[in-house]
Every structure is written in C-alpha cells, then in structure tokens.
Amino acid sequence: MKSNTLRVALIGSTGYTALEVARLLLVHPQAELTVATSRADEGKPLSEIHPSLAGRCEIALQPFDPDAIAKQADVAMCCLPHGASAQSVKELADAGLRVIDFSADFRLSSVELYEHWYGVTHPWPERVGNVVYGMPEFFADQIATADVVANPGCYPTSAIMPLAPLVKAGLIQTTDIIVDSKSGVSGAGRSPKLGTLYCEANEQIAAYSVASHRHGPEMQDLIQRISGSEVEVLFTPHLTPMDRGILSTIYVRPTDAAGSTPEAIAEKLMATLRQTYLGEPFIHVVDHLPSTKHVATTNHVQMTVRVSGTSNRPGRAILVCAIDNLTKGASGAAVQNMNVMFGMNQSSGLSG
C-alpha cells in the first residue's frame, strides 16, 4: 500500500471501463485499488479476467456488499450498465462511500427525461437533477464536495466540450446543430452483443440509433446547463472498426456571419475556445485536424474549427473533436473527478 493512499473500489470490474480504471490506478501516486466486485467471477483474481494486469494487480473479486466495501474503500467507481447502476449507487452512498457513477442514471436533469429515454423506472428519483455532472472543466467546485458524481457520457463529452462555450458566447445558432460521431467498438462495452462480433463490426462503418440515440438529449441538457441557452441537437452515432476512440464532426451556423470571412469567423470561435480552456490540462484547441490516434489511451481532448464558404458568403462552422472513449470518455474522466473530490492535483495519474 502506498502511504496516505486513497482506497478505491471498482464495481462491475470485469468490464472495459473497469480495466481502464485499474490501469490508470497502477500509476496513480496517491490512490490504490482495494476492492473489485463481480457477480459471476467472485474469488478469481482480477488479472485472470483482464490478463493485461497479470503480475501487477492480483486483487480477488468480491461480491457486491456495500457495508463490507465501505470498510475497505473511500470511493467507489460504479462501472455498471445504466438501469442497474442507480440502485447500487444508492446502496454505496448509504453505506458512506463517495461514488462516481459511470452510467447515465444520474446525468439528466429530470426523472421524466430519464425515464423517457431509458425506459426504466428510476430507483432513486429524488436524486435525479441534483447530482453534479462530472466535467471538472465546468463544475469543479460542486465535484469537490459531491457525495455522488455522474460521470459524463462518451459521445456527449466530445460534443459538449466544443459546443457549450460557443453557445454560451452567443457565437453559434442554437438550432440546426448537427453532431456526427464515430466510435470505436469498446464504446459498446465488453458484454457480448451481435453488433460487436468481429464479423459484424469489422471492415464496415454503420450509423445506428439515427434520430433516437439517448446521448442527443444528454448533449442538449448539459449544453443548456452550462450556457443557459436551450439548444436543438441532431445526433448521429456511427460504429467504426477501431478498438477505441471517438471523433465528432459538428456542423453549426455562426451568428453575425454577414460581412465576415470564413477565416475571421474560425479565428473568433477558436479564440473563445482557447480562452475557455486556458489552463485546463486536458483540453487542447489545436490548429490541425484532430484524429482519434492523437488522443488514444490518454485523457486529452483535441478540438479545432474550420468555416466553409467564401469571403462574401461564409457558410457553416465545422467543429472537429477527438477523445478516447475509455479515457476522457469514461475512466480517465472518473480519475480526474476523483482527484478533484479528494483535493488532489486533477492530473494525478493522468499525465501520460
């Protein structure tokens, strides 16, 4: 055990986001994994389930027992599917643990919105709408004192980061926002599904959940919370044959474009993004076109802006944003939130 160590429990530790948390904690100077739970694989070493951890993390998997976990850990990372997560989060919080929930169960502003999009009755409805969204770039003060943090969705992270500051500054129209995103297959989790079988996902790219994906409302809800303006987002996700990564290409209409050049508008939007994220260790407003490889396995976000059209008729602004779905899209963000919750440097364990 490292000295003055924060003790971390991993709930649902056989999945992909849990593996990523375990990997990040191995190099965290002030935090250590002390508990890992599983329903099906109780008693086995975590490294048997995730062989990349062999020789580095031999902790044995336990059943989910909140009171027992509370004796062994200070914070729980709840890596369970939405729907199943909320009840576990409640029991962990009731047992005295601070909790970071990876699922969408506490991300949205209202129970009605949640139950409409997720199709389940929420087991802890009184907390929906008053759990902080785990994006320290906007909500660090609330995260620092939170008992429960709703870790952001992966696609929403790639859209909210470039869009919210521009909406807040009044530089883009609040309707006609199109988010076109591509994700690697790990975004769908490790539990087997037809669409993620090799022969289904390999050598093709396909749109899915068109006009019906639950991350559209999450983007709208959070952009409104950050900017104070209601927005309309049309979101289309695509599954691509990569292990990991998300690239979002976002089409918006600049306000006050008449009489300006595409270059001048792009510079104005870039300047606002640079100003917003000045001093943020993970958010980079770059001149090049970001790609998933530029941020793979890191907690970094890269974004840029281009504007179409001619000097007389500027067209749309195109925002391009790349993240790693398992790191800034899930487990890296969770470690960043944990750092903020426990007064550590927000980059601890995430500097690679």
Ligand X SMILES: CC(=O)N[C@@H](CCC(=O)OP(=O)(O)O)C(=O)O
Ligand Y SMILES: NC(=O)C1=CN([C@@H]2O[C@H](COP(=O)(O)OP(=O)(O)OC[C@H]3O[C@@H](n4cnc5c(N)ncnc54)[C@H](OP(=O)(O)O)[C@@H]3O)[C@@H](O)[C@H]2O)C=CC1
Any idea which residues carry the catalytic annotation? Answer: 154
Q: Contacts with ligand X: how many residues (CB under 6 A)?
A: 9
- Which of residues 239 and 295 has its CB atom nearest to ligand X in the complex? 239
User: Cβ of residue 309: shortest distance to ligand Y, in angstroms?
Assistant: 35
Site string for ligand X, 47-86 (x = CB under 6 A): ----------------------------------------
Q: Which of 9, 21, 76, 104 forms a contact with ligand X (CB under 6 A)?
A: 104
Q: Does 162 bind ligand X (CB under 6 A)?
A: no
Q: Does 134 bind ligand X (CB under 6 A)?
A: no
* Residues whose CB falls within 8 Å of the CB of residue 29, separated by 6 or more in sequence, listed in order: 2, 348, 349
Write out the H or E segment, with its range, that includes residue 150: strand 148-150
* Residues whose CB falls within 8 Å of the CB of residue 60, separated by 6 or more in sequence, listed in order: 36, 43, 44, 45, 46
User: Cβ of residue 244: shortest distance to ligand X, in angstroms?
Assistant: 10
Footprint of ligand X on 164-203 (CB under 6 A): 183, 187-188
| Residue 304 to residues 131, 226, 286, Cα–Cα distance (Å) | 30, 20, 5
Q: Does 238 bind ligand Y (CB under 6 A)?
A: no
Residue number of the CB atom closest to ligand Y: 15
* Residues whose CB falls within 8 Å of the CB of residue 255, separated by 6 or more in sequence, listed in order: 170, 171, 172, 173
Please state, in angstroms and rounded to a whole number, the distance separating the CA atoms of residues 350 and 352.
Answer: 6
State the Cα angle at 350 between 346 and 352, rounded to 5°: 140
Residue 326 in tokens: 């398992």
Site string for ligand Y, 168-207 (x = CB under 6 A): ------------------xx-xxx----------------
- Interface with ligand Y by CB under 6 A: which residues? 12, 14-18, 38-41, 79-82, 84-85, 102-103, 153-154, 186-187, 189-191, 325-326, 329-330
